Structure 1
Amino acid sequence: MSKTLVQSVEQFEELAKENGTFLLFKNSTTCPISHAAYEEFENFAADHNEIPLYYLHVQEARSLSNYIAETYGIKHESPQALLFKDGKVVWNASHWKITYSSLGENVK
């Protein structure tokens, strides 16, 4: 399934309303660890279409990243993967814990 870039709080609110379950990846465009995790996310996205997949670039969407951390009570990290179900974050991982297999195990 393709992944979609999210850039604003309004866009995020809309997709959260439309999707009961979705995965969001927070990417830092300047961090090598984030780059490696983003590659894992991209590989996962290429092979899976069970749920919608979204991502944001923290440097370009700082207010959105902060909004998600504050609204859902999840400490901001980047890279970070967040699995949303029914308006709640049910799983999250950061840094080296974001792998193709960890995404597959938790996105069922």
Structure 2
Amino acid sequence: MNWIPLDSINQLEDINTHSKPILIFKHSTRCPVSSMAKRNIELEAVLLPENIQTYFLDLIKFRELSNQVSELWKVKHESPQVLLIYNQECIYNSSHNEINIADIVMKIEEVTS
């Protein structure tokens, strides 16, 4: 899996104007549940479309950026958390043990077909 580090507000602007779905994973490097969720995403990444951009947000280093994510896409902050951004909206979000790549893939297929 090719994670793109999410570490600037400028990236949020780019994500918000992108014409294809983008996946953001918000990860707490101090949380074992978050580490397990990250591992599960990486194991199931082969199910994701090849061209999807996947961003990784380290919540410990970039808490303010995480707050901006919550504000911009009107989602409650959770960790771990996955957001699917498309057409300037968060069209899917899930957290903790509810993170499921198959659900994300179905949502991507729904908006791109």
Q: TM-score when scaled to structure 1? A: 0.86
Note the C-alpha offset of 1:47: 4.6
Structure 1 segment 1-108 matched on structure 2, within 5 A: 2-48=2-48, 49-108=50-109
Note the C-alpha offset of 1:46: 4.5
Matching residue's letter, 2:38: Y
**Percent identical:** 32
Aligned residues: 108
Matching residue's letter, 1:56: L
User: How has the CA–CA distance of structure 1 residues 91 and 47 changed in structure 2, closer, same or farther, with 3 Å as cutoff?
Assistant: closer
Residue ranges of structure 1 left out of the alignment (5+ in a row)? none
State the secondary structure of the residue aligned to 2:60.
coil
Residue ranges of structure 2 left out of the alignment (5+ in a row)? none
State the secondary structure of the residue aligned to 1:54.
strand
After superposition, the CA RMSD in angstroms is 1.8
1:47-87 deviation per Cα after TM superposition (whole angstroms, max 9, x unaligned): 53142111111011111100010121100000000011100
Matching residue's letter, 1:76: H
Q: TM-score when scaled to structure 2? A: 0.83
